[in-house]
């Protein structure tokens, strides 16, 4: 920007600065996310754990680290996923539920009970058998449907 300052040129200059700032923030967040994930992988390797203990949620301007032991269940919401926590907080993230299903596939505490729900078996309070199907009531009193075609496998997994 050179004198004399014209309002249109000032506006363009500010917009360019804001775009560069946003790109830098995205790159910074991406690098922080990668660093946190590498630390988690190294920690898992050292502790001989074959499944993740934390998830990383990219938020605006930050990365949220969530311990999986605090997660009651994951709830699909279109191309987003709601993560319901023990504290009562619900974290909305831009990952699909398939992403979480893939990463938690071998985790002993998590099971996909429906195309829209992955639950933490530690927070199951009741298995409800109804005339119109089976559902599961979680620790926080939320009731979630169980996929009919996998009902027996899911109930067996939860009760053992």
At residue 115, the pLDDT reads 94
Any idea which residue has 């993560």 for tokens? 83
Q: Is 49 left (phi over 0), alpha (psi -120 to 50) or beta?
A: beta
Residue 122 is predicted with a pLDDT of: 94
Per-residue confidence of the chain (160 residues) as pLDDT tens digits? 566 767 777 777 777 777 776 666 665 566 666 666 666 655 654 455 566 788 888 776 777 889 899 999 999 998 899 999 999 999 998 889 998 998 888 888 999 999 999 999 999 999 998 888 899 999 999 999 999 888 888 888 888 7
Predicted pLDDT at 29: 61
What does the pLDDT read at residue 125? 94
Q: Give me the phi and psi of 48, to 5 degrees please.
A: 60, 30
Burial class (CB in 10 A: 0-12, 13-18, 19+), 159: exposed
pLDDT of residue 155: 85
- Residue 90 has, within 13 A of its CA and on its CB side, a CA count of 11
Give the span between the Cα atoms of 8 and 18, in whole angstroms.
15
């Amino acid at each position: 920007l050179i004198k004399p300052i014209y309002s249109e040129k000032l506006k363009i200059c500010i917009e360019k600065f804001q775009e560069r700032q946003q790109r830098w923030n995205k790159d910074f967040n991406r690098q922080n996310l990668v660093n946190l994930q590498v630390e988690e992988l190294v920690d898992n390797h050292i502790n001989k754990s074959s499944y993740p203990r934390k998830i990383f949620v990219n938020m605006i301007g930050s990365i949220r680290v969530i311990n999986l032991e605090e997660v009651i269940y994951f709830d699909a919401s279109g191309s987003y996923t709601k993560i319901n926590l023990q504290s009562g907080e619900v974290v909305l993230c831009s990952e699909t539920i398939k992403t979480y299903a893939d990463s938690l596939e071998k985790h002993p505490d998590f099971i996909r009970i429906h195309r829209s729900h992955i639950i933490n078996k530690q927070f199951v309070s009741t298995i409800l058998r109804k005339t119109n199907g089976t559902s599961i009531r979680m620790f926080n009193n939320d009731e979630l449907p169980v996929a009919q075609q996998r009902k027996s496998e899911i109930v067996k997994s939860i009760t053992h």
